[in-house]
Chains A and B, each alone.
Chain A
Amino acid sequence: MKKPSKAPFYSIVAGLIVLGLVTAWLRHTTMDIPFFAGDHRAVWMIEARVDFVANGDEVTVNLGLPYDPPGFRTFSELAASPGYGWSVIEENQTRRGEWTKREAQGAQTLYYKAQFVGGLYASETLTEAPPVRSVEWDGPQATASSQLLEQALSLSSSPKSLARELLKLINDTSPDQNASLMLAGEPDKANLLEKLLRQAGIPARIALGLYLEDARRHQSLTRMVEVYDDGQWVLFNPYTGAQGLPDNLLLWHRGDSSLIDVIGGSRSRISFSMIYQTVPALELAGAQATDSIFSIIGVHRLPIEEQGMFKLLFLLPLGALVVVFMRVIVGLKTSGTFMPILIALAFLQTSLLLGLFSFIAVVAFGLVLRTYLSRLNLLLISRIATLVVLVIFIISVLSLVGYQMGLNTGMTITFFPMIIIAWTIERMSILWEEEGPKEVFVQGGGSLLVAVLAYLMMQLPAIGHLTFNFPELNLVALALIMMMGQYTGYKLSELRRFRAMVENDASVDNKG
C-alpha cells in the first residue's frame, strides 16, 4: 500500500497554527487586547475646569475639545456640571463641547474630564494644503518682516526649514534689529511665527498643547505652531525652537477657532489638572469602539451570562489537548476517553481539593450502593438509571452536609455531570468484578490524574485569559491535537511495558 503524501496534512497544521497566531496578533494590535491578564495601560486623566461669572441670563459655554490628538486615543469622557445641559458637537474635524443653561448668576465652574491613552504612533496625512489667509502688518513691521523672511528663506529649502530658521532668528539671545522690531509689535512668538509663515504663503496654524505631568494642577495650555509641509502638519515649539511632537504633549485644540466662547458670562478662565492612572488593558480594549472586523471574533459583545459560558467552552480544547497528550504520548489509562475533561471542568467550578474529595466520595459511595444493586438483579438500563438517581441523592446529601458544616462551596458539587458519574460507577464496578481492584485504581487514578493536570492547566489565569480573549488560539491547540494524532512513536508507558524484553535480552547476552 502506498503511503499518502504528508504534505497536505502538514500544510493544514501549519496553516491552522499561522491562522491562529496571526489572527491573535492582529487582534492584539488593532483592538489593543492585551496578551497578559494583568496588563495595565497608562492612562492620563485630564480635567478641564472652566470658571466664569454669569450675568444672570441664559448661558452658553463652548469649549474646544481634543479631536483625535496625534499620539493619543480618547478612552472615556464626561462632563460634570450640575444644572447644565451638555453635548458634544463634532463637525469639520473639530470637536466642541457645549454647556447650556437657561439662567445662571454668579461664579460658575464647569468640568470636563477625559481619559487619554498615550504612547501611540502619531501620524496623519492631509490630502490638500489648507488655504492661507493673507497677513496685514503695520508700516515698519511690513518692511522688517519682509527682510526677516528674506533672510530666513535664503537659508532654507522647505516650509519646515523655513520655520526653523525663522525661530532661530526670533529666539536669538541677541535678536537683530528686524527681529526685535517684530517682537516688539507681536510679543507672542507663536503668533509671530504663524504670521510670518503665512506671509511666506505657507499654511500654518496655532495649536494649543497641554504638557502632561503627573498630578499637576492649574496647568495652562502652551501655544504651539503647526506648519503644513508636504501633506503633514509639523509641530514647532516657538519658544524653544524644538520641532516635532513631544511624547508628553497632548494637542488639545488646533486651528483658528477660539478655545472657549462664553455667551452670557464674563471673566472666563480655563485650567487643567491631570493625573496618571493605570487601567486594566482589557477594560480599555472593551471600552473602545468596536468597529474593527476583528471584534466580531471576540465574545465581548455577548451578554455577560453567555460570556461566562464561553469562558468554560473555550477551555475545553486545552483540556482535550491534555487528554490527547496523556493518552497518546504518555500512555496513561483513563476510564472513558473524555471523562477527565468533564471532571476537570467540575473542579473549575468547585475547587481542586473539595472537588477531588467529593468526586472520590461520590464514586466510592456509589460503588458500595452498586454492589447491593447487583443483588437485586436489575436490567442494565434500569440499573444505570437507578444509579443516576442515587448519585443525585448522594450529591444532594453531600452538598447539604457541606452547607451545614459551613462549606458554602458544597453546593457547587452539583456541577459534576451526574450521568457520567453513574456510568463511571457502573464501569468501575464491572471492572472491579472482572479485572480486580487494581485495574479500578489504575484507570480511576489515571482519570483523576489527567483531570487534575487538565484542571491545573485550565485554572491558570493566563490560560483562561488567552482562550477567552483570543479564541482563535484554539486553532493552535487543534493543530497540536492533530499533530499528536500522527504520532506513531512509543508511548512513555511502553518504555516500561517492554522493559522485560530488554532484561531478557541482557540475560541472554550475559550467558552468550
Chain B
Amino acid sequence: MKWVSPWRLRRMGILGMNCRNRDFIGSYNARSLFPLVDNKLKTKLLAEEFEVATPRLFFVISAQHEIAAIDEKLAGLEGFAVKPAKGSGGKGILVIVGRRGDKFIKASGAEITIDDIRRHMSNALAGLYSLGGKPDVVLVEDLIQFDDAFQGYSHEGVPDIRIIVFKGYPVMAMLRLATHVSDGKANLHQGAVGVGLDIATGHALRAVQFSKPVTHHPDTGRPLNEIKISNWRDMLLLASRCFEMTGLGYIGTDIVLDKTRGAQLLELNARPGLAIQVANGRGLLPRLRHVETLKPRAHRSPDARVDYAMKNFGVDGI
C-alpha cells in the first residue's frame, strides 16, 4: 500500500477527478452540447458536415424489427464494427474482422454466430449500454485498417490516439494499445497499454499498463519507446478542429490512423479520463491553467493553436 501526499500531487500538477468535473467539464462544457459527443451518430453526422475524416458509416439500426434482416445488410461486408450510439467507455462495441463460413470472427479471434450479433444489437437498442438505460440506435461502420506503423504494437485490436483538447489547444496525448488482457479494447483500466506521446513530436515518452511503467508490449514484446507517430501534426490538427465542430471546451478525441485514409476521428468524449497523466508521467493542470491565461482570440485557427501547442507543450515545455 503506497500513498502519495496531496501536496505532492498538486506540485506535480495532477488533475484530480473533482477538479476535472467542476473546473473544466462543468465550466467549459455546456450541458446542451453533450448529446453531440454522447451520441456517436450525431458526432458522425457532425464530422461529415465539418469534413472531419471519420470511418465510413454503413448503416444504422434503429428498431428491433430491422434486426431480423441484418444478414442481408451485412452480406457484402467482410469486417465491420457494431457500436451503440450512446455507449460510453467502449461499452457494447463489437468488432468483426472477418468471416469463416457462417461464423464471424471477432478481433480477439473468437468466432460468433449471426444470432450473437442479433442479440448484441437487440440489447444495444434496448439501451443496455447507454447512459441511464435509454433506448439507443446501433451504428455499423467500416473497420479501420490500421497503419503498418503499428504492426506488432497492438494485440487483437485497433490502436487509437487519445488527445485532450482544451479550448481548441491539444494539451496532452497518448497512444492506447490493446492487449490480450484488455480483450482487444483500448481502455487503460481494462489493461490496455498507454503510451504517452510528446505533443511537439509525436514520439513516445513512456508507457504504462495498469498504472505501472512498462517498456515492451506485454503480448508482442516490441519495445514501446521506439514508437513515433507519422503525420503527427495532422493528428493534432484533426483533434484541434473538433473544438469548432462541437463547441465543447474540454474534450478527449479518439483518433485512429488508417492505412489508406490517414487520421480518422473515431469518437469524442466529453469526460475524458485522467489516466493520460499516468501514461505521460506528468500532470495536466499546468497546461490547462496556461491555456486559461491565453487571450480568448489569441489563436483563431486550428493551425495556429496546433503550432502554439507544439511549441509550448513539448516534453521540455510546460
Interface residues of A (CB under 8 A from B): 1, 328, 331, 377, 379-381, 430, 434-435, 485-491, 494-505
Contacts and interface: CB of A to CB of B under 8 A. Distances in A.
B208 interface: yes
A486 B211 CA distance: 28
A490 B213 contact: no
Interface stretch (B16-24, B55-63, B156-164): B16-24
Contact of A504 (B14, B19, B126, B213): B213
A245 to B, nearest CB: 60
Interface stretch (B3-11, B104-112, B219-227, B236-244): B3-11
A430 B277 contact: no
Contact of A491 (B12, B17, B126, B206): B17
Given A434-B91, A435-B190, A490 B16 contact: yes
Given A434-B91, A495-B3, A500-B213, A380 B14 contact: no
Listed from nearest, the 8 A-B pairs whose CB atoms lie closest are: A380-B126, A488-B19, A500-B211, A490-B16, A499-B2, A495-B3, A490-B6, A488-B18
Given A1-B28, A487-B18, A488-B23, A380 B127 contact: yes
Interface string B47-73: 000000000000000001000000000
A112 B126 CA distance: 75
A500 B18 contact: no
A328 B18 contact: yes
Interface string B227-261: 00000000000000000000000000000000000
B128 interface: yes
Contacts of B286: none
Given A1-B27, A1-B292, A490-B18, A499 B126 contact: no
B145 interface: no
A501 B12 contact: yes
A502 B18 contact: no
Contacts of B28: 1
A381 B9 CA distance: 45
B109 to A, nearest CB: 18
B100 interface: no
Contacts of B127: 380
B17 A494 contact: yes
B3 A496 contact: yes
A117 to B, nearest CB: 50
Nearest to A380: B126
B64 A379 contact: yes
A500 B16 contact: no
Contacts of A496: 1-4
Given A379-B64, A380-B123, A495-B6, A500 B17 contact: no
Interface residues of B, number: 41
Contacts, number: 90
Contacts of B281: 501, 504-505
Nearest to B22: A488
A504 B281 CA distance: 8
Contacts of B2: 496, 499, 502-503
Nearest to B7: A490
Contacts of B206: 504
Interface of B: 1-6, 8-10, 12, 14, 16-19, 22-23, 27-28, 64, 91, 115, 119, 122-123, 126-128, 133, 190, 206, 208, 211-213, 274, 277-278, 281-282, 292
Given A490-B9, A504-B213, A505-B12, 15 more contacts: A1-B28, A377-B115, A377-B122, A379-B64, A380-B123, A490-B10, A494-B274, A495-B3, A496-B1, A498-B9, A499-B2, A499-B211, A500-B213, A503-B2, A504-B206
Contact of B277 (A488, A501, A503): A501
Contact of B211 (A435, A485, A497): A497
A328 B6 CA distance: 15
Contacts of A494: 9, 14, 16-17, 274
A76 B282 CA distance: 73
Contacts of A435: 190
Nearest to B18: A488
A62 B151 CA distance: 109
B14 A490 contact: yes
Contacts of B17: 331, 491, 494
Nearest to A497: B211
Contact of A379 (B6, B14, B126, B277): B126
29 contacts: A1-B27, A1-B28, A328-B18, A331-B17, A380-B126, A380-B127, A380-B128, A380-B133, A381-B126, A435-B190, A488-B19, A488-B22, A488-B23, A489-B16, A489-B18, A490-B19, A494-B14, A495-B4, A496-B1, A496-B4, A498-B4, A498-B9, A498-B14, A499-B211, A501-B14, A501-B277, A502-B2, A504-B213, A505-B281
